[in-house]
Amino acid sequence: MGFLGLGIGGLWNLAFYAMAFLLVLTPVVFVHELGHFLVARWCGVHVKEFSIGFGKEIFGFTDRYGTRWRFAWLPLGGFVKFLDDESATSMPSREALDRLSPAERAGAFQTKPPSARAAIVAAGPIANFLLAITIFTLIFTFVGELVTPPRVGAVEADGPAAKAGFAANDLIVSVEGQQVKSFAEVERIITLNAERNLTFGVDRAGALVELKATPVWREMASPLGNKLKRVTIGIEPPAMPARVGGLVARAPAAAAGFQTGDVIVSIDGTPVKSFNDMQKIVSVNPDRELSFEVDRDSALVTLKVTPAAQEASDGAGGKVKQGLIGIRAAPQGEYIRFTPVEALGQAINRTYSIIADNLTALYQIMAQRMPADQLRGPLGIAELSAQVATWGPTALLSFVAFISVAIGFVNLFPIPVLDGGHLVFYAIEAVRRQPLSERAQEIALRIGLALVLLLFVCVTYVDIRRVIDRLTGLG
């Protein structure tokens, strides 16, 4: 199914994507700008506007300090505007400063020392990281962390793992000397090391074995209708039971009456013992009605569903249609809950890991070891938000935390216009004992703006190509 086919159809589908996107992005943007705002107030800077979104105001109000709080039409970010700002990019202007009275100058951003301005600018990304830490802490405390042991359930024939000597039931204990405790950790390390030979420490029936395998890129279709490029060595965790863990709204399975918790017993009379068995049967039957026998609360129910067609690579440069019904597997593993202090430590580690992974992924893309189409722009985030929203509130909160870290990370890039670029200006000012000239800063900001706009166009193009590929793949 495509961008529209696996959603909820037509205008309502677009509304669902928009609502999910706003649910994810709005709190992240609000917290980012709130970081700037609170530290600015603390440093004695007067804030004229606090805006969520760009463009014409939809609604807003003015607080007792004279700050206009507003929501605007284009919800792709936000800004705080200081008393002496000429624009939302905090472009310094001597003329704007000269127009202020002596009393007003005391509340101007440009009159503050570099350390105060740096603190105000850095507060936005830091607030994003703190939001992620808070969300992860709450999840680890009240829900727990799902941990699946890093045990090999199956080895893909002729894949890197098979050639390296991996076998079913091997327990992976380390990768490149780094201890691993879950299958998700193993997958994360593999994903960030495409085309690099890795050393795996494996516990095989009590004996420690060292194996070497090189992760490769493979394209596949997910049960949610995505064409995914995945880095893999060709191993899978132990087989998941054929239990429905979640449904994509208005996808074939949901429309046929499947429910979360259903256990698929057979398809067209063929016994189904695992989720993978179900996927294999569905995959080779696009556009053909199938009869599912389902165990629902110990009662057998028969449901008929026609898998939708999704185009994917056949691994040999060609294309093949695969069937998809829009079912997510039930989580496998054990939820481990932590005390609040332990959860805080885990949350800090998780946030740090996301930042480190982003740095590694950026390097991989620049080194052309990871394709640039793994990037996501606004459309991509909207699509992922809608998909994650169908998985439940915990998954959606985790995604908000992930996006918050990503936005904080990107804003620290040393590009003028972004927070990191401003921090570079203040560092130069601290060393030179005087700021760069307004002309130099203006040129740098224009270059930075051009780079940001170019990046925006590129990721949007990637998003649109992904959608077009999906839609044309249905023909």
Q: Which residues are catalytic?
A: 33
> DSSP for 314-346?
-SSS-EEEEEE--EEEPP-SEEE---HHHHHHH
Rounded Cα distance between 290 and 268, Å, is 6
SS3 475: coil
Question: What b/e sequence results for 52-64 when a residue is b if at least 16 CB atoms lie within 10 Å of its CB, and e otherwise?
Answer: bbeeeeeeeeeee
Give the C-alpha separation, 327 to 279, whole Å.
Answer: 9
Q: What is the DSSP letter of 240?
A: P
Contact between 115 and 39 (Cβ < 8 Å): no
- Amino acid symbol at 84: D
DSSP state of 112: S
Question: How far apart, in whole angstroms, are the C-alpha atoms of residue 408 and residue 385?
Answer: 18
Q: Rounded to an integer, what distance in angstroms lies between the CA atom of residue 265 and that of residue 243?
A: 9
> How many other C-beta atoms lie within 10 A of the C-beta of residue 341?
10
3-state secondary structure of 441: helix
CA distance 30 to 213: 44
User: CB–CB of 84/110 below 8 Å?
Assistant: yes
